[in-house]
Amino acid sequence: MKTLYFRFALTTIFIMFLSGLIAFLLSNVYYQIKLKPYNDRKITQMASNIASFYETHPTVNLDHYLKGISHLGFQMLLIKEDKQKVYYGKPFSQHNLTQSTINQVLRGETYHGIVQFPKQAFVTGFFDDELRNTIGVPIDANGKNYALFIRPDIEYQFGEMRIFFAVLVALMIGLSVLLVFIGAYYIVKPIRVLSRATQKIAHGDYNIQLHVNRRDEIGQLAQHFTQMARSLERLEEMRQEFVSNVSHEIQSPLASIQGFSKTLQANDLPPEQHQHYLSIIEEESSRLSLLSKQLLTLASLDRDKGELDITSFDLADQMKQAVLMTEWGWREKELAIDMDLPSTIIQGDSKLLYQVWINLITNSIKFTEKGGMISLQIVNTSKKEVVVRIEDSGIGIPKQDLPYIFDRFYKVDKARKRNHPGSGLGLSIAKKIIELHFGSIEVISAEGKGTTFIIHLPYM
C-alpha cells in the first residue's frame, strides 16, 4: 500500500519532470520561431564579413586566413571552382550538402542552411554540426569564385558552459528530489499524528493532545480535530449520563409502583392509607407516562429534522392560552402573572411552539416560590425576527450550571431531591424546537434573583 508520503513525493517529482518536459518543448518552439531566424541572420553577417574582408585584402593568403578564423571557433568548408574541398576547424558530423546548393553559392547567392534546417521535436538544430546546417557565402579570390560554408563550433565556444549547465541541471534535479522527500515528510507528519489520534478515538480514548503549531490548513484541521475530540468526549459523557438518568427515572417510579402494589395486597390497611398508596401509584405512573412521551418527542425531533407543519398564527394568543393551561399551577402558588403580549402574527409549527411555552412557563412556576411573579413579554418585533422574554422571580440557577441546563436529563439538583420533580428533558425539547425554527434561546440567571429566558424567532 502506497503511503500518503510517497504519493505526495512521487506526484511532486512527476509534476517537476512533466513541467520540465513541457518547458523544453515550449523552448524548442520559441527557438524555431524566434531564435533560429535570428541566428541565421547573425551568422550570415559573420560569413559576409569574413568574405568581404578577404575580398578587400586580396594579398592575404586565403588558406592561412581561413585557418586563423577557424581557430576562433568556427567550422568551415571551402569549395573551389574545380570542386576541390578544403575543411577548416572541427570536422562536420555529416557531409550532406547537395550539388545544387554548392552551385547556388558558386553562382554568387547566399545559402541560409540554419533557417532552412528541418524542424524536429527535441532538436533545436543549433547544436547539429551538419554541413547543411551552415551559412554559405561566395568568395571572389583573384577572379575565381569560391563557396564558403561556415557555422560556429558550439563545442569549442561553449564547451565549458555546456558542462557547467549539465552539472547545474543534474544538481538541481537531485537536490529537488531530495528536498521534495524531506518537505513531504514534514507536510505529512501532522497527518500521521491525526491518523494516530483517530485510532485512539476509535478505541474510545478522547483525551487527545495534538501539538501541531501551524497556521495553514493542516493546522486548522488539527485545531478542528481537537475540538471534535472534545465534543465527542462531551457527547460520550452525555450519552452515559443519559443512560444513567433514563435508568434512574424509570427505575425510581417502577420501584415505587412495585413496592406500594405489594403493600396494597395486604388486607388490614385502613381505607385512608389504601387511598394514599393508590394516589402515589397514580402519580408515579403519570411520571412514567410523561417521561416516555418526552423521550418520544425528542426522538421524533431528532429524526424528522426540518419536517415542520408551518402555519400562520398569533403568537400572543398562543402564549395566553399556555398561561390558561397552567393556571392551576400558578394559582396554587399564588403567583402574579404579568403579560405584555401585543398581537404578533408569525409562521411556524404552532403545536411544537405551544409546547415550548408550556415547558418554559411550567419551569417558571416550578422554581418560583409562593407569592412570586412571572412575566411574559413580546419585547421586540422587527421585519426579521420576534423576541420573547419569559422571566420569573424564582430561585435562579447557579452560574456553574448555566452552560448545561439544555443538556438532556441535566438537573441542577445533583442529589435528585423531590422538591422539584421532573425528567430534565423540558428545556432540551424547547431548545430543539426553537432550533428547528432557525431560532435561538438564551438564559440569564443568578441564584436567588430569578431566571429569564430570551427566545429569538426569525420570520419564516
The CATH number of the domain holding residue 246 is 1.10.287.130
Q: What percent of the chain has pLDDT over 70?
A: 86
Asked whether the predicted pLDDT for residue 427 surpasses 80, the reply is yes
Shared domain for 10 and 111, answered yes or no, is yes
Task: Classify residue 368 by its DSSP letter.
Answer: S
The model's pLDDT over 324-340, given as tens digits with 9 standing for 90+, comes to 988 988 999 999 999 99
What are the DSSP calls for 233-244, one per residue? HHHHHHHHHHHH
Structure confidence at residue 112 (pLDDT): 92
**Residues 6 or more apart in contact with residue 299 via CB below 8 angstroms:** none
Q: Which of 282, 303, 324 is the last residue of a domain?
A: 303
Q: Are 401 and 419 in the same domain?
A: yes
If asked whether residues 328 and 289 sit together in one domain, one would say no
**Which one-letter DSSP state was computed for residue 217?**
H
- Is 25 a domain residue? yes
Q: Contact 40/151 with Cβ under 8 angstroms?
A: no
* Of the candidate ranges 13-27, 99-113, 338-352, 359-373, the one whose mean pLDDT is the lowest: 13-27
Which range (1-10, 111-120, 148-157, 217-226) has the least confidence? 1-10
Q: pTM for the full model?
A: 0.48
Of 70, 72, 69, residue with least CA distance to 91: 70
Res. 1: pLDDT tops 60? no
Asked if residue 345 and residue 252 are part of one domain, the reply reads no
Task: Name which of 87-91, 306-310, 363-367, 373-377 the model is least confident about.
Answer: 306-310
User: 204 vs 209, 276, 408, CA distance in Å?
Assistant: 15, 48, 22
Q: Residue 161: pLDDT band by 50, 70, 90 thresholds?
A: low
Q: Which residue has the higher pLDDT, 190 or 324?
A: 324
State residue 374's pLDDT score.
95
Question: What pLDDT is stored for residue 202 in this prediction?
Answer: 80
Lowest average pLDDT, out of 261-270, 349-358, 424-433, goes to 261-270
Within a domain: 195: no
The band of 418, judged by pLDDT with boundaries at 50, 70 and 90, is very low
Statement to judge: residues 239 and 331 lie in one domain: no
Whether the per-residue pLDDT at 61 is higher than 70: the answer is yes
Same domain, 105 and 219: no
Considering the domain architecture, whether residues 296 and 317 belong to the same structural domain is answered as no
Average pLDDT, the chain: 82
192 domain-assigned: no
Which carries the bigger pLDDT value, residue 60 or residue 289?
60
Q: What integer is the mean pLDDT of 85-94?
A: 90
Over 60: is that where the pLDDT of 265 sits? yes
Residue 50 to residue 138: CA distance in whole angstroms:
10
Asked whether residue 450 is assigned to any structural domain, the reply reads yes
257 and 321 belong to one structural domain: no
- Do residue 228 and residue 146 come from a single domain? no
In a domain, 182, yes or no: no
Which pLDDT does position 138 carry in this prediction? 93
Domain with 285, as residue range(s), is 206-303
Q: Hunting for cell 507528519 — which residue is that? A: 189
Query: Which of 125, 159, 193 finishes a domain?
Result: 159
Same domain, 37 and 135: yes
Whether residue 254 lies inside any domain: the answer is yes
Average pLDDT over residues 403-412: 74
Q: Is the pLDDT of residue 178 over 80?
A: yes
Whether residue 215 is contained in a domain is answered as yes
Dig out the grid coordinates for 298 from the structure: 425528542
**Does some domain include residue 168?**
no
Residue 417 has pLDDT above 50, yes or no: no
**Shared domain check, 334 and 279:** no
| Number of domains comprising the chain | 3
Residue 312 has pLDDT above 90, yes or no: yes
Last residue of a domain, one of 159, 174, 197: 159
Confidence bin at 176 (pLDDT 50/70/90): confident
Domain holding 392: CATH number?
Answer: 3.30.565.10
**Residue 249's pLDDT is what?**
65
| 92 and 212 share one domain | no
> What pLDDT is stored for residue 409 in this prediction?
66
